[in-house]
Copies of this chain bind each other. A is one copy, B any other.
């Protein structure tokens, strides 16, 4: 309470503080993830003049936060501790804490974690989201459970940011759904394997060809191997998935303009591993495949960790995660602010 009071005073009397703080924080964050980072590449990344950046680097160096060497810039232990530890404080200062509370009320989920920054402006935010998601994921893990993961960049970030401390024993990681052809790094199978490796858990994959007909899928269901994996998938008690915007996802699957117009007519805004949702959270279309039976998932999965960022995904997030008290939602500041705006809530704090 005293802390929040202090923050409010601080923002009142030094209104340029969030800007200053974020500028440097983003710089440090970038260095953390891209070390050893060169001055020129940093300048290019932030679209800053070289001199401007240099001045920032000078102050950071004076503060003992970065190490400037010939081979590049890296964080000192102090800088690393800062990047890793300042997040909750930053959230407080930026009012993200209050925003999380608002979103919690609005979306009626179990937990909301808003990561500082805008994914569309700084891709490091994705890694931060991965870090936040990984933290929540670890908290949800219990021995002998099945964890289902979907594809996508966000889930890949979670996999990347998971520490490789071992998880509780007996965990099995499976893809939430098979064969939804994406770039290999972002495929559910691939991510499931990566997550399993980090957790030192076992995994089972579901390799299916893309774009199968309904009949072909039903035939595959007869296969012993596939049926057993499907059973495993549907016994998952934790699900980690990202969210796509409907049109974008359809297009990435190679849908024609006609199909997209159909989707739009149905009101599809969000997509989760092949299922398309309208604004009211109803499934209006899906890509034929095998995997989680989404319809009765509510009864079986204990924790769903949803991770999505970028203001473009605001509508999709609202559509997908509304009213699921088992959901943990990880998103970025950009998406969070957009959601607030869509809901007509004024988020006074400024976005930098």
Contact = CB atoms under 8 A, between A and B. Distances in A.
Interface of A: 2-3, 5-6, 9-10, 12-17, 20-21, 24-25, 28, 59-60, 62-65, 78, 82, 85-86, 88-89, 92
17 contacts: A2-B3, A2-B88, A3-B3, A5-B85, A6-B86, A10-B89, A12-B64, A13-B21, A13-B24, A13-B63, A13-B82, A13-B86, A14-B17, A14-B20, A14-B21, A16-B20, A17-B17
A63 B12 CA distance: 6
**Best-surrounded residue of A3, A25, A28, A78 (most CB of chain B within 10 A):** A3
A158 to B, nearest CB: 25
What 5 pairs between A and B have smallest CB-CB spacing? A6-B89, A9-B86, A3-B3, A13-B24, A14-B20
A28 B62 CA distance: 30
A89 B17 contact: no
Given A13-B65, A63-B15, A92 B24 contact: no
A14 B62 CA distance: 11
A299 to B, nearest CB: 39
Contacts of A13: 21, 24-25, 28, 60, 63, 65, 82, 86
A46 to B, nearest CB: 16
Contacts of A3: 2-3, 6
Given A2-B3, A20-B14, A9 B63 contact: no
A139 B25 CA distance: 43
A2 B6 CA distance: 13
A88 B85 CA distance: 24
**Best-surrounded residue of A13, A20, A88, A89 (most CB of chain B within 10 A):** A13
B59 A5 contact: no
B9 A82 contact: yes
Contacts of A88: 2
B21 A10 contact: yes
A13 B16 CA distance: 14
Nearest to A27: B13
A15 B24 CA distance: 11
A100 to B, nearest CB: 17
Given A12-B82, A13-B65, A6 B92 contact: yes
A9 B89 contact: yes
